Structure 1
Amino acid sequence: MLSTTPRSAARRRSRELVLQGLYQRRLADNAPDDVRVQLETSKGYERADAAYFDAMWRALAAGADARVERLAPLLDRKPAELSPIERAILAIGAWELDERPEIPYRVVINEAVELAKSYGGTDGHKFVNGVLDRHAASVRAAEVAARAR
């Protein structure tokens, strides 16, 4: 049966699932494959974009920390001092900015901000917005410049 879920909502659900999985990996240090199975059998997975979830999970299940470390020059504190939620959201946003040029950078940042508003601390969304905006200016300079005109 074909899903009637719009692509953006399905991708949003994929981001939420990866966020949950990265959080679980950080706190419980569960094996990536075990977490993946748990996520794929969780309530609401059927609303996710399975291919998008797969690509994101493959990249971030073991690579989220390295992606966040590359953002270190943009942070106002050491990466080790970030909350698990902030780390996960920044990893997701950075991955999308780096690897998914078909998604406009403003959409990537807005989606990360929404995750931070839903799952993060009080002003975490402002922090996420600032870091990813600076990262976008670096990795998507032409797109950012074109939007500024």
Structure 2
Amino acid sequence: MTEPKRPNKSPRRRAREFAVQALYQSMMNQNTPLGDIANHLREHTDFKNADKELFNRLFLGASHNQSDYMQQIVPHLDRDEKMINPIERAILLMATHELNAMLETPHAVIINEAIEVTKTFGGTDSHKFINGILDKLAAQLRPAKQPESEA
């Protein structure tokens, strides 16, 4: 029997996955410049299939605004901020940046993409945690109904 083929990931999904990896690396290696982390991913991974512009916007935007975004996230947590694992934190930062700064992307798409990235990198039920936080953040940050389109 052959295994069913998994659909190829879109360049935007890959960019989000690389952004999460870069954010994670920056948390684990706080003395490493962001440019070095980004360059390492660009040179040593399957980065050619990613949306490079989206990666740069997500990684650099989430990195530079990390403390502001955590202030937005913390009120919605059901645990102490220190108890969030680094992967969940990276995904929340990435999605919070996208909710704040990329109004062209519908909030439902941002949440769905964050859930899918969490299923790739996070723990078994992490996607439920991420979904709950992002639903609350989206209601706060984007109270007006948006058209639902693909991004």
CA distance in 1, matches of 2:103, 2:61: 16
CA distance in 2, matches of 1:101, 1:61: 18
What is the total number of aligned residue pairs between the two structures?
139
C-alpha displacement of 1:78: 2.1
- Match of residue 25 from structure 2: 24
CA distance in 1, matches of 2:59, 2:118: 19
**Aligned residue among 90, 93, 96 for 2:92:** 90
Over residues 40-87 of structure 1, what are the superposed CA-to-partner deviations in whole Å (9 max), with x where a residue is unaligned?
A: 112211111111111112212343343123211011112222000000
Instruction: Report matched runs for 1:37-116 at 5 Å.
Output: 37-116=39-118
CA distance in 1, matches of 2:145, 2:59: 26
TM-score, length of structure 2 as denominator length: 0.84
Letter in 2 for 1:98: N
CA distance in 1, matches of 2:67, 2:21: 15
Gaps of 5+ in 1: 1-7
Over residues 69-128 of structure 1, what are the superposed CA-to-partner deviations in whole Å (9 max), with x where a residue is unaligned?
A: 321101111222200000000001111111111111111000001111111111100000
- Match of residue 3 from structure 2: none
**Alignment RMSD (CA, Å):** 1.8
Structure number with higher relative contact order (C-alpha < 8 Å, ≥ 6 residues apart): 2
Single out whichever of 24-33 and 111-120 deviates more from structure 2.
24-33
Contact persistence 1:64–1:88 (CA under 8 A): no
- Give the 4+ runs in structure 1 shifted more than 6 A: none
CA distance in 1, matches of 2:128, 2:21: 20
SS in 2 for 1:92: helix
**Aligned residue among 109, 121, 132 for 2:123:** 121
CA distance in 1, matches of 2:71, 2:80: 9
Gaps of 5+ in 2: 1-8
CA distance in 2, matches of 1:14, 1:69: 25
